[in-house]
């Protein structure tokens, strides 16, 4: 068996078929057999997050504008995404897989890599075991899936994509290049529209045509990406299966050096903590729907309260929720020693495509810009005016001032 972090000898890639639609159909069986589009109403500015095979027959695909999808198939059922249910079913798949293999990587909400090196001694013949695993998931969760097995992650993923048309596939060790050769270049992970267009212009529609030529040609054209392209065309991939560790909470708290009573100082602290937590959520690729505020008085009495909201990683939403919780939590006229914000019920942020309402799109761009400034110039490079006022005021005790300390709560 390969060690965690080492390139696996045998890798299984597993992809849940039309995952969002499959979950929706479990909740509403009347959707079975009908063209279904998940992403929102056709009159929103969003894009298709997922669609059924029936919808694909009309030319609809993921990332297509919803309005265009409606024009292609006005009779389709258009659904708003249900993050909560998707995350719950994804976690249930993760749990089943974690019980089956020693090393599991969760690549996305509906995509998994399994390091199955050496598992034959324990689980039995590879083909029989993988078939049993697939049908145990389908039997317990009623979710369809496709898998591919190969020497490495790249070829296993391609095998899965091919398997969606031809059935689950296993590629024997040493057979990677011959397996890839006849397929179109667009099936290779990492080949986007621009690179595909360049390769087609060079007369290279098939992966095998890349593998036959010198690596120098591709490094001259695409730089370091050219080297990866050439290696991938020959079925070479050294990326390891990364063990999946579920993040349960994310937050930050602040202990004042001197206990405070001024509501402006506490407001500034909440704004800074919301910034900190929001940035951490975005950098780690999470959304939250559960916010908890922690309050410790000067006499060490501690109080906490939790509220739920729509999934978010936006600073202004976290701050608004924290302020709302604090107003109901702060019931004593006693100085405050500590304030904290923590988030739970985290899910991976696969849903930015759902949030293209004008207001959300504006904030997405704003936070992307703020995060980039902080990455380049430091986390205190830009903040709220009220935070700066408290930092630079008479007490100098505000967030990021000389006496301010933030500790992470994992």
Express each pLDDT in 237-281 by its tens digit: 999 999 987 778 999 999 999 999 999 999 999 999 999 999 999
> How confident is the prediction for the chain on average, in pLDDT?
86
**Most confident listed range (19-23, 114-118, 224-228):** 19-23
**Most confident listed range (240-249, 314-323, 359-368):** 314-323
What is 249-409's CATH topology?
Dna Ligase; domain 1 (3.30.1490)
Query: Under a CB-based contact definition with an 8 Å cutoff, are residues 115 and 239 in contact?
Result: no
Cα separation, 394 vs 400, in Å, equals 15
3-class DSSP assignment, residue 120: helix
Cα separation, 240 vs 115, in Å, equals 9
What's the Cα-to-Cα distance from 399 to each of 48, 313, 314, 391, rounded to whole Å?
A: 41, 20, 19, 6
Q: How many CA atoms lie within 13 A of 239 on its CB side?
A: 16
- Over residues 18-34, mean pLDDT: 97
Cα separation, 25 vs 17, in Å, equals 12
| pLDDT of 145 higher than 80 | yes
pLDDT digits (tens, 9 = 90+) for 47-98: 899 999 999 999 999 989 999 999 999 999 999 998 888 988 999 999 999 9
Which one-letter DSSP state was computed for residue 305?
E
Query: Under a CB-based contact definition with an 8 Å cutoff, are residues 140 and 26 in contact?
Result: no
Residue 125's pLDDT band (boundaries 50, 70, 90)? confident
pLDDT digits (tens, 9 = 90+) for 364-376: 556 566 556 656 6
- Between 390 and 394, whose confidence is greater? 390
In this prediction, residue 134 carries a pLDDT of 94
| pLDDT of 171 higher than 80 | yes
Query: Under a CB-based contact definition with an 8 Å cutoff, are residues 253 and 338 in contact?
Result: yes
* Region(s) of the chain under CATH 3.30.1490.100: 249-409
- Between 371 and 25, whose confidence is greater? 25
Residue 285's pLDDT band (boundaries 50, 70, 90)? confident
| pLDDT of 409 higher than 90 | no
Q: Phi and psi at residue 128, in whole multiples of 5°?
A: -65, -45
Q: Global pTM?
A: 0.74
pLDDT digits (tens, 9 = 90+) for 2-21: 444 444 589 999 999 999 99
Which one-letter DSSP state was computed for residue 407?
E
Angle between helices 126-141 and 83-98 (to 10 degrees): 140
Beta-carbon contacts of 27 under 8 Å, excluding residues fewer than 6 positions away, are 82, 85
Q: What whole-number percentage of the chain has pLDDT above 70?
A: 82
In this prediction, residue 351 carries a pLDDT of 53
- Over residues 194-199, mean pLDDT: 94
- Over residues 98-109, mean pLDDT: 90
| pLDDT of 350 higher than 70 | no
- Over residues 15-39, mean pLDDT: 97
- Over residues 379-400, mean pLDDT: 49
Catalytic residues: 111
| pLDDT of 233 higher than 90 | yes
Instruction: Say how many C-beta atoms besides its own lie within 10 A of residue 367's C-beta.
Output: 18
* Region(s) of the chain under CATH 3.30.70.270: 11-17+85-233
3-class DSSP assignment, residue 332: coil
Q: Which CATH class is domain 11-17+85-233?
A: alpha beta
- Which tokens go with 3? 């060690």
In this prediction, residue 372 carries a pLDDT of 61
| pLDDT of 40 higher than 70 | yes
What's the Cα-to-Cα distance from 345 to each of 88, 288, 309, 310, 311, rounded to whole Å?
A: 10, 6, 11, 11, 9
| pLDDT of 1 higher than 90 | no
- Over residues 182-209, mean pLDDT: 95
- Over residues 280-296, mean pLDDT: 93
In this prediction, residue 78 carries a pLDDT of 97
Strands laid side by side in the 169-170 sheet? 103-108, 111-115, 11-16, 145-150, 169-170
- Which tokens go with 403? 């006496």
Instruction: Say how many C-beta atoms besides its own lie within 10 A of residue 369's C-beta.
Output: 11
């Amino acid at each position: 068996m390969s060690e965690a972090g080492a390139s696996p000898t045998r890798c299984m890639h597993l992809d849940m078929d039309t995952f969002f639609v499959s979950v929706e159909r479990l909740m509403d069986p009347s959707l079975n057999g009908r063209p279904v589009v998940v992403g929102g109403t056709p009159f929103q500015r969003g894009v298709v997050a997922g669609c059924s095979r029936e919808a694909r027959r009309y030319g609809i695909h993921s990332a297509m504008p919803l309005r265009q999808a409606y024009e292609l198939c006005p009779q389709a059922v258009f659904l708003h995404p249900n993050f909560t249910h998707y995350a719950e079913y994804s976690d249930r798949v993760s749990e089943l897989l974690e019980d089956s293999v020693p090393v599991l990587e969760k690549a996305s909400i509906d995509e998994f890599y399994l390091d199955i090196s050496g598992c034959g001694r324990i689980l039995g013949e590879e083909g029989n075991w993988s078939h049993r695993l697939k049908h145990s998931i389908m039997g317990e969760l009623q979710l369809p899936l496709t898998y591919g097995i190969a020497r490495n992650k790249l070829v296993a993923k391609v095998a899965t994509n091919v398997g969606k048309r031809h059935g689950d596939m296993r590629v024997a060790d040493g057979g990677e290049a011959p397996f890839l050769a006849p397929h179109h270049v667009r099936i290779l992970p990492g080949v986007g529209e621009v690179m595909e267009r360049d390769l087609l212009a060079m007369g290279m529609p098939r992966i095998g045509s890349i593998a036959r030529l010198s690596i120098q040609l591709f490094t001259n054209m695409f730089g370091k990406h050219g080297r990866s392209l050439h290696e991938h065309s020959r079925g070479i991939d050294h990326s390891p299966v990364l063990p999946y560790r579920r993040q349960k909470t994310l937050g930050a708290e602040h202990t004042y050096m001197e206990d405070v009573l001024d509501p402006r100082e506490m407001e500034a602290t909440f704004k800074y903590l919301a910034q900190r937590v929001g940035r951490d959520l975005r950098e780690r690729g999470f959304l939250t729907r559960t916010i908890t505020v922690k309050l410790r008085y000067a006499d060490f009495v501690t109080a906490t309260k939790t509220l739920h909201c729509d999934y978010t990683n936006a600073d202004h939403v976290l701050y608004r929720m924290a302020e709302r919780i604090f107003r109901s939590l702060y019931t004593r006229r006693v100085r405050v020693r500590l304030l904290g914000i923590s988030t739970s019920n985290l899910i991976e942020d696969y849903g930015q495509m759902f949030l293209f309402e004008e207001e959300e799109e504006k904030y997405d761009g704003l936070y992307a810009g703020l995060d980039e400034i902080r990455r380049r110039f430091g986390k205190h490079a830009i903040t709220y005016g009220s935070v700066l006022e408290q930092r630079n005021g008479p007490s100098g005790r505000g967030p990021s001032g000389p006496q301010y300390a933030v500790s992470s709560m994992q």
